[in-house]
Amino acid sequence: MLIDLHTHSSVSDGTETPAEVMVQAARAGLDVVALTDHDTVLGWDEAADAAVEVGIGLVRGLEISCSLAGRSVHLLGYLISPDDDDLMQELAEARESRLTRIDRMVELLAEDGIPITIDQVRAEVADPGTTVGRPHLADALVTAGLVRDRAEAFSRYLHTESPYYVQHYSPDPLRAVELVVAAGGVAVLAHPYSRRQHEAVTPDLIADLAAVGLAGIEVDHRDHTVSDRAALRGVATELGLLVTGSSDYHGDGKPNRLGEYVTEPAVFEAIVARASGSAYLPA
């Protein structure tokens, strides 16, 4: 059984619709896939319908963009209840902050002679409810002919040290874990030793997250070196946490390929057993 527990659609910063992600997952030979768009559950219904059609198991999830001392930390939440008011309100605040942040980034770019407008950014968003983010601004820069691709947009204009970068609201990771657990979900720390997160995520932080309900660590990920994975497995063993692997697929938005890293069936079964929020949709 091949299980990929981290993918993104055009509802956040992927390039394919939720239905298209399910089709591609089935074509890649996956048996189970999780849809984990940033700070939203908007794509769940479409993904569920498509998963039934193509005969693949669906894990309803999301990726919460958290912040600790100004540094990014990402949390995967699996099988949460979409009716949990506290979590949904937190996600709504994060999405609104992303939109106002993009407005300001566009202003800063324009002030420096880089001709882009917020309407051009919005034209890159597939659905009105999509979580707007830097990838959509990157796509607008590509469409305007100012850069070749998303990678160049980020390296030239949109990286976190850029003068055009603006921080957005995001919850503390400890609170995010508590919210996921309270919503009946299972919390797994996403790619903790990636370049963007390595300085923020320490073994002590992981221990603190485990104390409030963190269930696992996404260890097998293309952003982790062999030594990163060994170190994270050691932390997981010490704290009694599950070890997952996944692609972090974004369609054409990133080179990550569906199924390039997967989660062991026994680990997946443990995740499903712990959840009480939304049900796993089997093939």
**What pLDDT digit, counting tens, does each position of 110-136 carry?**
999 999 999 999 899 877 677 788 989
Give residue 69's pLDDT band: very low, low, confident or very high (50, 70, 90): confident
pLDDT for res 167: 85
Q: Do 181 and 50 fall within a single domain? A: yes
Q: Taking Cα atoms as reference points, which of 78, 58, 47 lies closest to residue 281?
A: 58
Domain that holds residue 24: 3-91+172-274
Which H or E element spans position 7? strand 3-7
Q: Do 129 and 265 fall within a single domain? A: no
Within-domain flag for 166: no
Q: Do 184 and 79 fall within a single domain? A: yes
Q: Do 114 and 84 fall within a single domain? A: no
Q: Do 17 and 74 fall within a single domain? A: yes
Q: What is the value of pTM for the model shown? A: 0.87
Q: Do 81 and 180 fall within a single domain? A: yes
* CATH number of domain containing 152: 1.10.150.650
**Number of domains making up the chain:** 2
Q: Do 62 and 124 fall within a single domain? A: no
Which H or E element spans position 45? helix 44-54
Q: Do 193 and 266 fall within a single domain? A: yes
pLDDT for res 198: 67
Q: Do 197 and 244 fall within a single domain? A: yes
DSSP conformation letters of 56-97: -EEEEEEEEEEEETTEEEEEEEES--TT-HHHHHHHHHHHHH
Q: Do 203 and 268 fall within a single domain? A: yes
pLDDT for res 225: 96
